[in-house]
Amino acid sequence: MRILGIETSCDDTSVALFDSESGVAANLVSSQVDLHGHFGGVVPELASRAHLVNLLPLVDFLLDGQEVGLKDLDGVAVTAGPGLIGALLVGLSTGKALCMAADLPLVGIHHIEGHILANGLTAEMVLPAVVLVVSGGHTEIVHMSGIGAYERLGATLDDAAGEAFDKTAKLLGLPYPGGPHIDRLAGRGTPGRFRFPRPLLQESRTVFSFSGLKTAVRQIVDGLPRPLTEQDQADVAWELQEAIVDCLCHRLFQAARRRKTPAVYLAGGVAANGRLRARVTEEAARQGLHFVPPQPVFCTDNAAMIAYAGWHHLRAGHSDPLSLDSFSRAPLSSWK
Ligand code: KG4
Ligand code: ZN
């Protein structure tokens, strides 16, 4: 089966072709970072307009490059939500139009399911598993017993982990999105120069809270002489990353212990973080749990994960009517 994937839930326009015989044939991402970077975050209206301009040329470029026509496809998978509603509507309407034109089945994908299943593009998933979903908009722990069988075990009470990276990076004067910059700078940081809180670490519930970290970082940064040196930035980045990774690892392995799963996984943009991947790899080995880090290109928003999730649904006989609506919010476990 050949599935075209479309992902426009936030600020990346992405299209991909998944072939069930050979895997991901192509995965194109047109980034809007330059457009939004100036504002320090994503401007929803600008994101929708840029998707509108970029999406169809990107689909043409993908199909031409693969020498594939619409008639060679077996279905179109599109992110239906959650995300920015205007941005989602551009992707979903385009997907519907392609399906209508070529008489193809449409399948709407929950963005978080796409992130989780991205692990299957790297290696076959071992289930049941506990998955830590960490992105710019989500931080949650999900128990997965099969495709389509997800139970949310807990989530952040306020900011997502990616937001904590991005907001504190902004305080350090780093460009948007800050996560990759913190990751890079932290490698040169001095352990122990600063100390930030690990919020809710003593709490027995599966919860996270990252909004307080921003205040802790601001207090430290405000007390440093200006301009900040690169060493100051690196030292703050080290401790910030360590505080976030401590909280994420603690909850992930606590949930795996409680649910007695043989495997743990990471999903979402923050899963590209080098320190998080290394710490989870180390701890999983110590506890005898299966863990393979997902390829970084499939961690941040991409359409390959959407096409791949679409293939799972289509081969199980699930498709959606062209009346399918997009949605800005809905937990994965309650979305059908
Ligand atoms: O999954 P994603 O591309 O979009 C959402 O669904 O939100 O995640 C984007 C988030 C941003 O907050 C970005 O800073 C973060 O992922 N991120 C990282 C890294 N790469 C991306 N955070 C920490 N370290 C990284 N290497
Ligand atoms: Zn995402």
12, 117, 135, 302, best to mutate for ligand 1 pocket (most atoms within 8 Å of CB)? 135
**Quick one: pLDDT at residue 333?**
84
The ligand 1 atom nearest the CA atom of 138: 7
Which ligand is nearest the CA of 273, by number? 1
Q: Which CATH superfamily does the domain covering 126-293 fall into?
A: ATPase, nucleotide binding domain (3.30.420.40)
301 closest CA partner among 159, 118, 61:
118
Phi/psi of residue 285, nearest 5 degrees: -65, -40
CA of 302 to the centre of ligand 1 (A): 12
Q: Residue 101 has which token pair?
A: 């034109």
CA quadruple 104, 108, 112, 116: dihedral positive or negative?
Answer: negative
Rounded to whole angstroms, the Cα distance separating 95 from 195 reads 48
Q: Does domain 2-117+298-315 have CATH number 3.60.110.10?
A: no
Q: Which CA distances in Å does 167 have to 153, 172, 182, 214?
A: 26, 9, 11, 7
CA of 301 to the centre of ligand 1 (A): 8
Rounded to whole angstroms, the Cα distance separating 217 from 232 reads 12
Q: pLDDT below 50 — which residues of the chain? A: none
CB 159 within 8 A of CB 214: yes
262 closest CA partner among 118, 149, 139, 143:
143
CB 120 within 8 A of CB 172: no
CA of 79 to the centre of ligand 1 (A): 18
Question: Taking the domains of the chain in order of start, what are their residue ranges?
Answer: 2-117+298-315, 126-293
Give yes or no on whether 2-117+298-315 and 126-293 have one common fold: yes
First to last CA, the chain: 23
CB 206 within 8 A of CB 141: yes
CB 126 within 8 A of CB 262: yes
Indicate which residue's Cα is closest to atom 24 of ligand 1.
273
Strand partners, 6: 15, 78
**Quick one: pLDDT at residue 334?**
80
DSSP, residue by residue, 65-130: HHT--GGG-SEEEEEEESS-HHHHHHHHHHHHHHHHHHT--EEEEEHHHHHHHTHHHHSPPPSSEE
DSSP, residue by residue, 225-292: PSSPPHHHHHHHHHHHHHHHHHHHHHHHHHHHHHHT-SEEEEESGGGG-HHHHHHHHHHHHHHT-B--
Q: Which CA distances in Å does 41 have to 32, 37, 45, 229?
A: 11, 6, 12, 24
306 closest CA partner among 43, 178, 125, 114:
114
Within 8 A by CB and 6+ apart from 182, the residues are 165, 168, 169, 174, 237, 240, 241
The ligand 1 atom nearest the CA atom of 301: 3
32 closest CA partner among 176, 181, 178:
176
Q: Residue 126 has which token pair?
A: 């071992």
The ligand 1 atom nearest the CA atom of 161: 12
- Say how far residue 69 (Cα) sits from the centre of its chain: 29
CB 132 within 8 A of CB 264: yes
Rounded to whole angstroms, the Cα distance separating 106 from 188 reads 47
Q: Residue 245 has which token pair?
A: 């990774």
**Quick one: pLDDT at residue 297?**
97
Indicate which residue's Cα is closest to atom 14 of ligand 1.
179
83 closest CA partner among 122, 51, 106, 56:
51
Pocket of ligand 1 (CB under 6 A): 10, 135-137, 162, 165-166, 177-180, 183, 268-270, 272-273, 300-301
